[in-house]
Amino acid sequence: MFRFFLLVALAASIYQDQIGTYDWHKVHIGKVIEIHATTGGKSIAISDRGILAMIKPSGELEWRRVVSSIDTYPLFTMSLSGIFTYSSGVLTMWTIQEGQIVWSLYIPEVLQLVLITQGISEVLAVLTENTIEIISIQEGELMKKIYLVKPEKIVFKYKDSIFVMDKKKNILKINSKNWDIEKIDFGEDNEVICAKDSCVAINEKKAKVINNGEIKDINWEVGKIQGVLDKFYVCEGENLVEILEEEVKIIKQIGKHVPSENSQMWLVESSSSLTIYSLEASSISLPSSSIPVLKFWGYTNSKGEFLGYILYEDYSILCFRNTLIRWIREEGLGHTSSLYFLELPSREMHAHNQYFAYIKDHNTWSDVLTNFFLRIESQINHRNIELEALEKDSFAFKKLIIAVSKSEYIFAIQSLNSQIFWRLKVKNLIKVVQLSHEEAILIENDGDKTKLTYLDIILGKKIKEQIYDIETVDVLQIGNEEDSAVYLVDKDFKLLPVVKHSGPELFFYIINSKNGSIEGLKHNNGINSKVWAMKLGTGEKILTYITNKAGNIHQPAIATGTSRLVYKYADENLFAVASQKGQELFVYVINAISGHVIYRLHQDQVSGSIHLAFHEQKLYIHYWNIKYERYEIISAEFFKSNVDDSASDVLQSYYSGGFSTDYSSKFTPEVTVFTQTYVFPYGIKDMKFTTTLQGITKPSLVMILESNQIYLLDSAFLSPRRKLEDNHEEGLFDDPTLPIYKPNIPWSSINIANYFIELEGISKLATTETWLESTSVVIAYDLDMFLIRVMPEKSFDVLSEDFSKSAIVLTIGGLALLNILVQLWFSSKCAKENFNT
Amino acid sequence: MIRVLLCLALTTAQDDFDLSGSTGSGKIAHKLFHSYDGVNWEVRGTIQLSIFGDKRRKPLISVKNTKFEKEKLNFKGNYYIGVYTEEESGFMIQSSTETCYLIGSDLQDIISVLVDSETGGITALNYKTEGKMCERTTTAQKMQTMAEVISTREALKPYFALPKPEIEQDNTSFLRKYWWAIAIGLFLFMSSAASPPPQQGAAAAPQRAS
Give a yes or no: residue B85 inside a domain: yes
Smallest CA–CA separation between A517 and chain B, in Å?
A: 9
Judging contacts by C-beta atoms under 8 Å, the chain B residues touching residue A586 are 152
A602 and B121 within 8 Å at the Cβ level: the answer is no
* Beta strands at A24-26 and A785-790: parallel, antiparallel or unpaired: antiparallel
A534 and B124 within 8 Å at the Cβ level: the answer is yes
pLDDT of residue B206: 38
C-alpha distances in Å from residue A619, one per residue of A550, A642, A759, A765, B177:
11, 20, 28, 17, 55
B153 and A601 within 8 Å at the Cβ level: the answer is yes
Query: Quick one: how far is CA A299 from the chain centroid?
Result: 34
Q: Give the Cα separation of A400 and A414 in Å (integer).
A: 5
pLDDT of residue A736: 80
C-alpha distances in Å from residue A364, one per residue of A352, A361, A368, A562, B65:
19, 9, 6, 70, 73
Q: Give the Cα separation of B67 and B120 in Å (integer).
A: 25
Q: Is B4 on the interface with A (CB under 8 A)?
A: no
- So where are chain A's domains? 350-389
Report field, pTM of the whole predicted structure over 0.95: no
Instruction: Identify whether the C-beta of residue A209 lies closer than 8 Å to the C-beta of residue A199.
Output: yes
- A–B CB contacts, 8 A cutoff, strictly below: 105
pLDDT tier for residue B6 given thresholds of 50, 70 and 90: very low
Q: Give the Cα separation of A104 and A140 in Å (integer).
A: 7
B155 and A515 within 8 Å at the Cβ level: the answer is no
Q: Give the Cα separation of A149 and A706 in Å (integer).
A: 42
pLDDT tier for residue B10 given thresholds of 50, 70 and 90: very low
Q: Give the Cα separation of A835 and A671 in Å (integer).
A: 66
Express each pLDDT in A275-296 by its tens digit: 999 887 688 999 988 899 999 9
A602 and B155 within 8 Å at the Cβ level: the answer is yes
Identify the segments of chain A with pLDDT beneath 50.
385
Task: Residue window 6-35, chain B: list those with CB within 8 Å of chain A.
Answer: 16, 18
DSSP A191-227: -EEE-SSEEEEEETTEEEEEETTEEEEEE--S--EEE
Instruction: Identify whether the C-beta of residue A107 lies closer than 8 Å to the C-beta of residue A126.
Output: yes
DSSP B112-158: EEEE-TTT--EEEEEEEES-----S--S--S-EEEEEEPPPEEPPPP
pLDDT of residue B11: 34
Query: Does pLDDT of B4 surpass 50?
Result: no
Judging contacts by C-beta atoms under 8 Å, the chain A residues touching residue B123 are 534-537
The ipTM is 0.74
Q: Give the Cα separation of A101 and A397 in Å (integer).
A: 42
Q: Tell me the torsion sign for CA atoms A723, A729, A735, A739.
A: positive
Residues 6+ apart with CB under 8 A from A72: A50, A87, A88
A597 and B128 within 8 Å at the Cβ level: the answer is no
pLDDT tier for residue B15 given thresholds of 50, 70 and 90: very low
Give the residue from chain B lying closest to A722, CA to CA: B159
Give a yes or no: residue B189 inside a domain: no
- Under DSSP, the state recorded for A39 is G
| H or E element in which residue B169 lies | none
Q: Is B76 on the interface with A (CB under 8 A)?
A: no
**Segment B27-46 mean pLDDT:** 91
pLDDT of residue A709: 95
A677 and B91 within 8 Å at the Cβ level: the answer is no
Give a yes or no: residue B172 inside a domain: no
Find, among A665, A530, A695, the residue nearest to A598 by Cα: A665
pLDDT of residue B56: 72
Give the residue from chain B lying closest to A583, CA to CA: B18
A743 and B38 within 8 Å at the Cβ level: the answer is no
- Under DSSP, the state recorded for A673 is E
A532, A534, A673 ranked by CB distance to B153: nearest: A673
Residues 6+ apart with CB under 8 A from A340: A401, A402, A404, A432, A434, A766
> To 10 degrees, what angle do helices A347-361 and A365-381 make?
160
Judging contacts by C-beta atoms under 8 Å, the chain A residues touching residue B153 are 599-602, 673, 675
CA atoms within 13 A on the CB side of A278: 17
The strand pairing partners of A177, in sequence order, are none
Find, among B51, B121, B114, the residue nearest to B91 by Cα: B121
Express each pLDDT in B139-162 by its tens digit: 888 889 999 998 777 766 666 544
Q: Give the Cα separation of B130 and B110 in Å (integer).
A: 7
The strand pairing partners of A377, in sequence order, are none
A602 and B18 within 8 Å at the Cβ level: the answer is no
Give a yes or no: residue B39 inside a domain: yes
Instruction: Identify whether the C-beta of residue B93 lies closer than 8 Å to the C-beta of residue A535.
Output: yes
Judging contacts by C-beta atoms under 8 Å, the chain A residues touching residue B16 are 604
Total domains present in chain B: 1
pLDDT of residue B24: 53
pLDDT of residue B204: 37
Give ∠ CA A717-A723-A728 in degrees, rounded to 5: 160
B38 and A666 within 8 Å at the Cβ level: the answer is no
The three-state secondary structure class of A77 is strand
Q: Give the Cα separation of A578 and A249 in Å (integer).
A: 67
Express each pLDDT in A761-813 by its tens digit: 999 999 999 888 888 999 999 999 999 988 888 767 767 767 777 888 888 89
Instruction: Identify whether the C-beta of residue A578 lies closer than 8 Å to the C-beta of residue A589.
Output: no
**Segment B177-185 mean pLDDT:** 79
